A and B are shown apart, each in its own frame.
Chain A
Amino acid sequence: AAGVIQSPRHLIKEKRETATLKCYPIPRHDTVYWYQQGPGQDPQFLISFYEKMQSDKGSIPDRFSAQQFSDYHSELNMSSLELGDSALYFCASSLGLGTSGGGIRNEQFFGPGTRLTVL
């Protein structure tokens, strides 16, 4: 079965540079979520989109922005990168307000992540 695709898988940037992470959700999924997981930390919710509109916002720095496009893929844009931005960035997708097979509510399917290293 098709899974969530993230690119690139690894990214190395210098401080103050910019980075763009891409996420391609599972076909027919209309909701995309972004999570950040620092070394030894638990995943932290950043932002989500439902039907191309921002649906929720978490602890996302102002230096970061994101959007969901007409084909439902999403991009996370990160500017003025800092050393503390080094982390795994996961994208997840779901059927949004509906339920998946078996009546599971809001089952989110995670991608393999993008490992961002800021030097």
Chain B
Amino acid sequence: LAKTTQPISMDSYEGQEVNITCSHNNIATNDYITWYQQFPSQGPRFIIQGYKTKVTNEVASLFIPADRKSSTLSLPRVSLSDTAVYYCLVGGESSYKLIFGSGTRLLVRP
């Protein structure tokens, strides 16, 4: 399973766009990239998943460059309720367990 590296923490203000970059230099051909969000004392929650290029849903966008060695989660116009830990996970169809590395603790200030 590819190892991921993310910033330990990030600070932002309400209404700003937040971009969290994850490095996964050893990503395998059949690996996809998934991001989860976790609030304190709650279970992680799926945010977005992609394999290449750009994926967008109602809560976030995921940008993946051509070499796929990194990915960027983009949260548009964050609010206080986006304060959480964000995990980048890389895995393929041969492994279904989620391996959580050290996530990024995002603090959104008023």
Contact A48 B42 (CB under 8 A): no
Least CB separation from B99: chain A residue: A45
**Residues of chain A contacted by B43 (CB below 8 angstroms):** 4, 90, 92, 110-113
**Residues of chain B contacted by A58 (CB below 8 angstroms):** 97
Contact B96 A113 (CB under 8 A): no
The docked-state distance in angstroms from the alpha carbon of A107 to that of B91 is 12
Least CB separation from A57: chain B residue: B97
Which of B14-22, B70-78, B100-108 lies at the interface with chain A?
A: B100-108
User: Which residues 79-99 of A have a CB within 8 angstroms of B?
Assistant: 88, 90, 92, 94, 96-97
State whether A56 and B96 are in contact (beta carbons under 8 Å apart), knowing that A42-B101, A43-B44, A104-B49 are contacts in the complex.
yes
Task: Name B96's contact: one of A31, A111, A115 (CB within 8 Å).
Answer: A31
Smallest distance from the beta carbon of A91 to chain B beta carbons, Å?
8
B67 within 8 A of A: no
User: Which residues 81-107 of B have a CB within 8 angstroms of A?
Assistant: 87, 91, 93, 95-103
B46 within 8 A of A: yes
Smallest distance from the beta carbon of A27 to chain B beta carbons, Å?
18
Chain B residues within CB distance 8 Å of chain A? 32, 34, 38, 41-46, 49, 87, 91, 93, 95-103
Sample 9 A-B pairs with CB under 8 A, ordered by A number: A33-B97, A33-B98, A35-B98, A35-B100, A42-B100, A92-B98, A107-B46, A110-B42, A112-B42
Q: A35-B100, A43-B38, A105-B32 are in contact. List 19 more A-B contacts (CB 8 A).
A: A31-B96, A42-B87, A42-B103, A43-B44, A44-B100, A45-B99, A45-B100, A48-B96, A48-B97, A50-B96, A90-B44, A106-B34, A106-B93, A106-B96, A106-B98, A110-B42, A110-B43, A113-B41, A113-B42
